[in-house]
Structure 1
Amino acid sequence: MKHNRILVVVGYFPYPCHFGGAIDVYGRIEALNKLGYIVDMVCSCKAMPLDEDFTAMQLITENIYITERNNRVTDLIFSQPLQAQSRKSLKKVKLEKVYDFVILESESTAPILENETLKVSKIALRVHNDESKYFFQLGNSSSNIFKKLYYYLDALKFRRFSKRVFDKADRLWFISKDEYNVFAEQEQWAQKSFHLPSASVQLPAQQKLGGRNVLFIGSLFMPNNINAIKWYLDNVHSKLINDFPDYSFVVVGSTGDVKEEDVLSMLSGYSNVEVHFNVPDLAPFYAEAALFVNPMQFGTGVKLKSLNAINNGLPLVSTHVGSEGVGLIDKEMFLKADSPHDFYAAIVRIFSAKPEANAAMVKKAQDFLNNNDYLTLLKKETDDLIKQA
């Protein structure tokens, strides 16, 4: 029996969309709305969302349930990853509706499956990353010994935990084409694996592409992003200052649990750097930038910051880590650079090119990324899931 109702379970409140994962979640809920589904949402949050943010999500959902997320040192002794253990309150939220299927936004929301009030026919898991590899990479990028140990510990726990959640799910929606190819080759998951690209919340934009502003947008509480910023500043930034007096590096991001003064302290020794925290609208920063850089050295899966930059009309210079899992063609759709020399040279190439040439590269990348009709793909998946119910 079709109820035309879907439950989306998220490990954070997805609005405002300050980072790539939130954009993907928000865009999917918005798309489900357009397809005629009633969407309820459960969020596991460390703090209550602001009233205006809650109101914004109510425009595309019917019922919103907020559960408390608690990180406790004692939770490290459990076999579940801390990311899931800290969201165990998902087991207790009282759900009153019957759902065609539930969408788990990553394995960390799997505790909802132990909720006795959850009435659902099918389970779809959004695979944002290979979590075990992702947390191992976070461990590599962190300079804090205690955080490093925590990341490595969760990486080991996710090896088993992710497999159990994969087995329970009726559909695995991979955001990364590369990770989809890996898991789809494994017999037990081949029939349930599907590559579902990132949802976009806007149409591709065009920018004037003038000036010398180099932009980076990312979560400033994530160690791999902080590592990327420091790598860029230590290896590329000073040479650009010497060669282009009007150059500046603009960093924009959400801080999460990190104090703004700690980020400012880290960047205090560098000139020609602007920092903006927790801004409600990213559009002005895209509009004033000449290009976007993603100098990430550690990470797995699709880096949505790169896709969002292209969709917002900026040329992309990225390491292979920052551009993997999508299929962008180097020198045609973006510029790949892994060494300091190549990264500097790629930025200079964009600075030196005519705006029309840079815009043509962006347009080719946008056409490639938007080749798939997201609504059509999502409708096919939801229809197939409901038929199986």
Structure 2
Amino acid sequence: MSSKSIQIVAFNNPYPANFGGAIDMFYKIKALTQLGVKIDLHVFYDDRANFEELETLCETIYRYKRQKHIAKHFSFLPFSVKTRQSQLLVDRLKANAAPIFIESLRCCGMLINANFKQNVAVRNHNIEHNYSWGLSKSETHPLRKLAHYIEGKKQKKFEAILNKADLLFNISYSEHAYFSKTYNPKSVFLPAFQGYKSITSKPGRGEYALYHGDLTTADNLKSAQFLITVFKDLDFPLVIAGSNLPKSLLELIQKYNTISFVKVTEQEELTKLIENAHINTLYSFQESGTKLKVFTALFNGRHCILNKNMVDDAKILSVCEVAETKKAYQNAVRELISKQFSLTEERKVALANYKDIENAKIIVENLL
């Protein structure tokens, strides 16, 4: 067992692990703990205030409530950064000799004026300005659309702060290439942490296709609307699952007998839907290297159709049906409707790089 220590600065509460960034952070913490690494966790949070599970994994947890006053939108800094600044955080980090692991550019405001004696690493979850501009393109509300665009402009300018880090851990191949080329610190490819230890996909056939996501976000809502246009012409049921259903999407769903909504509030409910679906449908209008719902589908589900915005790992893409247009998506569905599912060696190989313990060792070897 290791006697090493690390200080992690999280942009949100990693628990519950029910969205992409939280999943990566939570299972990273869990894997490092299993390697014997002692963790001091610093968390910026909004309304996610349940830390009980994390308290069993970390030595100490320091909480910092985000200050999201509207005036912070008028700073030269990105709103996502300005609301995550704390002198108390800086003082605590400096008082501890352990290396610092910063989750996301959003927490890098601490690097503006502070110089740390210990090594500092940044985990790049996205190319943040591309993510914000993607949200802007998907958003229909004029004010939110403008806000996301301006946020992206600020993030692009602020991104140069990464040169003050010693190490960059990048979550996808495309983003790894970008950060390696653009910034001076050593870049290391660190695949997504996702919590699955084995593939549990059921053989055989399911009776519906499934799309799931947070339907209050612009990209997921737009993707759900796209998939409705795909399935409205097909004689195969589509189930859309989420914790909230916007009125505009409800009105669209009600037009078609083969399309339905299922409200899910617990992970176990969603897992059952994924396991029993014949096809897990994934789509995004945002170019972002890795979306973790891909792994949820491949570790737990049968057939998977997606577009390349979901993931940039060639091995993962090779075990899915890739469809970019409505016509291509419909053709992929028609091809899979009658196709029995059986787990292939190709899927096992493709998912072999996504083992949390092995990926935690990458952090230990490069930072601790």
Tell me the TM-score normalised to structure 2 length.
0.89
User: Among 275, 297, 300, which residue is 1:309 paired with?
Assistant: 297
1:257 corresponds in structure 2 to none
1:256 corresponds in structure 2 to none
Partner of 2:314, secondary structure, is coil
Displacement of 1:273 in angstroms is: 1.4
Residue 274 (str. 1) matches residue 270 (str. 2): no
Structure 2 gaps, min length 5: none
2:107 corresponds in structure 1 to 109
1:238 corresponds in structure 2 to 232
Q: Deviations over 1:65-87 (max 9, x none)?
A: 22111323211211111111122
Displacement of 1:173 in angstroms is: 0.6
1:250 corresponds in structure 2 to 240
Segment of structure 1 superposing worse, 372-381 or 269-278: 372-381
For 2:117 and 2:101, locate their aligned partners in 1 and report how far apart those are by CA, in whole Å: 10
User: Among 319, 344, 353, which residue is 2:339 paired with?
Assistant: 353
Distance change (3 Å), C-alpha of 1:162 and 1:3: farther
For 1:376 and 1:167, locate their aligned partners in 2 and report how far apart those are by CA, in whole Å: 27
Matches within 5 A, 1:276-291: 276-281=263-268, 282-291=270-279
Segment of structure 1 superposing worse, 211-220 or 54-63: 211-220
For 1:46 and 1:172, locate their aligned partners in 2 and report how far apart those are by CA, in whole Å: 26
User: Among 151, 170, 173, which residue is 1:174 paired with?
Assistant: 170
1:72 corresponds in structure 2 to 69
Q: Does the CA contact (< 8 Å) of 1:174 and 1:196 recur in 2?
A: yes
Displacement of 1:113 in angstroms is: 4.2
Q: Deviations over 1:150-191 (max 9, x none)?
A: 111011111121121x111111111011111233234x43x5
For 1:70 and 1:148, locate their aligned partners in 2 and report how far apart those are by CA, in whole Å: 22
For 2:204 and 2:124, locate their aligned partners in 1 and report how far apart those are by CA, in whole Å: 34
- Name the amino acid aligned to 2:313: V
User: Among 123, 126, 131, which residue is 1:129 paired with?
Assistant: 126
Segment of structure 1 superposing worse, 10-19 or 279-288: 279-288
2:137 corresponds in structure 1 to 140
For 2:210 and 2:120, locate their aligned partners in 1 and report how far apart those are by CA, in whole Å: 38
Distance change (3 Å), C-alpha of 1:296 and 1:377: closer
Distance change (3 Å), C-alpha of 1:115 and 1:283: farther
For 2:319 and 2:97, locate their aligned partners in 1 and report how far apart those are by CA, in whole Å: 41
1:92 corresponds in structure 2 to 88
* Cα root mean square deviation, aligned: 2.5
Distance change (3 Å), C-alpha of 1:182 and 1:115: closer
Q: Does the CA contact (< 8 Å) of 1:102 and 1:120 recur in 2?
A: no
Residue 228 (str. 1) matches residue 223 (str. 2): yes
Tell me the TM-score normalised to structure 1 length.
0.84
Partner of 1:201, secondary structure, is coil
Q: Does the CA contact (< 8 Å) of 1:209 and 1:289 recur in 2?
A: no
- Name the amino acid aligned to 2:252: G
1:364 corresponds in structure 2 to 346
Distance change (3 Å), C-alpha of 1:149 and 1:384: same
Segment of structure 1 superposing worse, 277-286 or 79-88: 277-286
Q: Does the CA contact (< 8 Å) of 1:38 and 1:62 recur in 2?
A: yes
Residue 215 (str. 1) matches residue 197 (str. 2): no
For 1:101 and 1:209, locate their aligned partners in 2 and report how far apart those are by CA, in whole Å: 48
Matches within 5 A, 1:309-388: 309-323=297-311, 325-328=312-315, 330=317, 332-356=318-342, 359-360=343-344, 363-371=345-353, 374-386=356-368
Q: Does the CA contact (< 8 Å) of 2:125 and 2:170 recur in 1?
A: yes
1:25 corresponds in structure 2 to 25
For 1:355 and 1:35, locate their aligned partners in 2 and report how far apart those are by CA, in whole Å: 36
Q: Does the CA contact (< 8 Å) of 2:283 and 2:310 recur in 1?
A: yes
Displacement of 1:45 in angstroms is: 1.3
Residue 4 (str. 1) matches residue 28 (str. 2): no
Identity %: 23
Displacement of 1:380 in angstroms is: 4.0
Displacement of 1:267 in angstroms is: 2.1
Displacement of 1:308 in angstroms is: 2.3
